[in-house]
Amino acid sequence: MPETTGPLDPPPGGLLVLPVPGIGEVRPGDDLAGRILACADLRSADVLVVTQKVVSKAEGRLVPIDPEDPAARRRLAEAEAVRVLRRRGDLVITETRHGFVCANSGVDLSNVPAGTAALLPEDPDRSARRLRDQIRARTGLAVGVIISDTFGRTWRRGVTDVAIGCAGVAAVVDLRGQPDATGRTLVATEVCLADELAGAAELVMGKAAGVAAAIVRGVSPDWLRSSSVRAEVVRPPAEDLFR
């Protein structure tokens, strides 16, 4: 007999991605973990993906900005950067103090009140650890947590969600030294698992649906470990061929 699964179980060898609706508008100082737990049917070994925007809101990373001043966003982006790499019109490509290379230092004017800009969390890995610890303290569940944000890619059009912070789930899975399907040894393959899970979660969250979190269920137990986007994903300058 084939193995059967329930509606909230992933198929054998597969993943299940579930949106977490109902979190509502998050404001500075809100109990984000409590709001998520009120809406999410979490299980141990799930990976919870939460958008940067609600994390920044809960942590008070909102600043006033003059919507009538077209240069205000550029000045704010430069203030949040450690280095400006490129400019084109109103767009600046910067390196943030987190080590991220992105547009406008991640300064975001969408889904926030007019006259307000959202900044990236001070330490997204720490934000992920805090959420994970709060969930475990309140429920006893051991889950992975990813903080996601929308990034462009230098050589490809379109945006996708990536991980800017994580806890309890591998950021990078190193396959070097393992055989491929033909038996050849992999020599350069490191999979950015956290980015792949963030992108999968975004498919059920969307950009305009007001869904700020998703659950990815069915990840390999081998992937559930201590982790850090900054330590594992951000490429050190010595390895960077383009800056």
Which DSSP string do the residues of 112-151 spell out, in sequence order?
A: S-TTEEEPPPS-HHHHHHHHHHHHHHHH----EEEEEEEE
- Clarify whether residues 205 and 93 are in a common domain: no
Q: Mean pLDDT for the chain?
A: 91
Q: Where are the alpha helices (DSSP H) in the chain?
A: 32-39, 52-58, 72-80, 124-139, 193-205, 229-232
pLDDT tens, residue by residue, 46-88: 999 999 999 999 999 999 998 788 788 889 999 999 999 999 8
For residue 192, pLDDT beyond 90? yes
CA distance 24 to 178: 44
Residue that the structure tokens 């305009």 belong to? 208
Please indicate, yes or no, if residue 76 is contained in any of the structural domains: yes
Residue 5: band (very low, low, confident or very high) from pLDDT cuts 50, 70, 90: very low
Q: Are 185 and 169 in contact (CB under 8 A)?
A: no
pLDDT at 6: 54
Range of the domain at 100: 62-119
CA distance 51 to 164: 10
The residue with greater pLDDT, 9 or 32, is 32
- Clarify whether residues 136 and 208 are in a common domain: yes
pLDDT at 171: 95
For residue 7, pLDDT beyond 90? no
The CATH number linked to 88 is 3.90.1660.10
- Clarify whether residues 70 and 154 are in a common domain: no
- Clarify whether residues 51 and 69 are in a common domain: no
pLDDT tens, residue by residue, 22-31: 999 999 999 9
Cα of first residue to Cα of last residue in the chain, in angstroms, is: 56
- Give the strands of the sheet with 144-153, arranged side by side: 16-19, 213-217, 47-51, 144-153, 156-167
pLDDT tens, residue by residue, 137-157: 999 999 999 999 999 888 899
Total residues found in the chain within this entry: 243
pLDDT at 239: 86
CA distance 223 to 178: 16
- Clarify whether residues 115 and 133 are in a common domain: no
pLDDT tens, residue by residue, 109-148: 888 888 999 999 999 999 999 999 999 999 999 999 999 9
